[in-house]
Amino acid sequence: MLDPKEQEKLLTRRFGNAAPLLDPQPEGEREAGPELVPGPPPASPISRWWMTIPLCIGIWAGFALTQNSERIVQVAQSRPIRTVTADRGDIRKTIRIAGDTAASNVAAVRAPRIRGRGAGGVASGGQMTLVKLAAAGSRVKKGTLVAEFDTQNQLLKLDDQKAKVVQEEAKILKVKATQAIAHERERVAAVKAESDLGKAKLDLRTTEVKSAIVAARLQMAVEEAEVNLETAQKELRLADNARRAELRSNEIRRDQELVDQKRAEMNIDRMRILAPIDGMVVLMSNTGGSSISEIEQGDQVRPGMHLLNIVDTASMALEAAVNQADSQIIRTGMPAEVRLDAYPDAVYPARIAAVGSLAGTSTGGGGGKRGGRGGFSRSGGGNFLRNIAIEIAILSKDERVIPDLSASADIIVATAEDVVRVPREAVSFEADGAWVQAAGGDAEGFERRRIEVGLVSDIHVEAVSGLDPGAKLAAERPQARL
């Protein structure tokens, strides 16, 4: 056991001033107890110094942030306010739509449909061979040959028909000759029966000198002659009707062959297709076989197949769709300006030619044939954003304007000429009116001024009153700066 004083010194070294005091007791009265176990050593001064490092770093960062904020405020306050100037000019309110170009006057050219009995004289499978075809993109005049087919089969068909017509004519002549002989034979028989009747009547006059039996026989001979004459005349009429029917049947067959001959001649004429209007040639695609390509010379085409279109580029238009909300203010005849995506520098004057009466559902991402921005109906299916079809006629002529080009149009809804106009970014529309920040007011150099506005476009606002041309206006709110 250690002496109490030594234990107290040991505790003082370990715990400092917080060391517990030991009451000295006589050795006789000291109770036996557990021996003291040394505790953990006190914290080192170096460890306490490292604990203060994060605190110092935090204090330094807060001070730097405060200084930087003050510097930002000073820079912002020293930055000049961007201004715009009110001037006098024209304002146009427009609606922009997008679509595709198309021609209002288009003539479709199709392969001829062969008429006539049988195969019509076309090749096996009902196909025809193109021997001439106008080049794609070429411009043709009305009456110019744009397509021609092989006419060999139709020429053979025409020769066959001519031979059949001659054959039917010969048959008719033969029937007429045969009928004439038969008619004459039957007419002679009828004349003989008439003469027999006359002879029998003469014999009947001798009954006064004849016996009763002979008189009865003469009377019976007269009656028999009358029946024979009636029969011969009836047979003659029936035979004449039959012969006329037979002759008419042959004439009908002859006329049918004549019709087929005329059809063959017409088919040959149809093999040469002439342009019905002036315009540009646009070839269609040939879907025959395993690949799709433009129709070209030497192809086998079916009767009635769409070969090409002749587009009158002088009647070009923009086919698009306008939102149902904007369609309420669009009217036929309104002016517009059309721009092609392929030629952004070109501007073409136009006008509204037609506005649809029924709304359609938008399913795409653009305008016109590509549709508008889609949406979903509140009932859970389909789209609820509707568009109205619109056609805008392009008034100027340009060879670059061809069908199926993407384009846009600015429809001029309203205009205001020679008015005070303000850039729209300088006008603040609030519940109590329109306001601007005009130069020459408060300590910041601007005063808040209310103006009366007229026509409002996407770029300018018409200032009816409250502002003069040349006024400097803030393009941003001064109070909104840091």
DSSP SS3 for 180: helix
Cβ atoms of 153 and 123 within 8 Å: the answer is: yes
- Indicate the pLDDT class of residue 157, thresholds 50, 70 and 90: confident
Higher pLDDT, 442 or 308: 308
pLDDT at residue 147 in the model: 92
DSSP strand pairing (347-361 vs 386-394): antiparallel
The answer to whether residues 180 and 259 touch, using CB atoms and an 8 Å cutoff, is no
* Secondary structure (3-state) at 161: helix
User: Regarding predicted confidence, which is higher, 12 or 460?
Assistant: 460
DSSP H or E segment with residue 202: helix 152-204
Is 385 within 8 Å of 374 (Cβ atoms)? yes
* Structure confidence at residue 377 (pLDDT): 38
**CA geometry: angle at 187 spanning 185 and 188, to 5°?**
65
Kindly report which listed range (35-49, 144-158, 268-282, 455-469) carries the lowest average pLDDT score.
35-49
Q: What is the pLDDT of residue 365?
A: 37
Helix extents (H) in 205-326 = 212-270
Going by C-alpha positions, the residue among 353, 335, 348, 333 that lies closest to residue 399 is 348
CATH class of 314-411: mainly beta
**Mean per-residue pLDDT for 233-242?**
89
At the topology level of CATH, where does 106-150+271-311 sit? OB fold (Dihydrolipoamide Acetyltransferase, E2P) (2.40.50)
d(CA 166, CA 168): 5
Looking at the predicted structure, is the pLDDT value of residue 3 above 70? no
Mean pLDDT of 214-239: 87
Q: Which residues contact 23 (CB under 8 A, 6 or more apart)?
A: none
pTM metric for this prediction: 0.55
**Closest CA relative to residue 327, chosen from 389, 259, 408, 263:** 389
Task: Give pLDDT tens digits for 101-123.
Answer: 988 888 999 988 887 776 544 44
What's the CA gap between 111 and 267, in Å, rounded?
A: 11
Looking at residue 225, its pLDDT comes to 86
| DSSP label of 440 | S
Bigger pLDDT: 462 vs 81: 462
CATH number of 83-89+416-480: 2.40.420.20
Alpha carbon 120 to its chain's center = 37
Give burial (CB, 10 Å; 0-12/13-18/19+) of 24. Answer: exposed
Alpha carbon distance 82, 93 (integer Å): 26
Question: Model confidence over 302-315: pLDDT tens digits?
Answer: 888 889 999 888 88
Model confidence pLDDT, tens digit, residues 359-416: 776 544 333 333 333 333 334 444 566 888 999 999 988 888 888 899 999 999 999 9
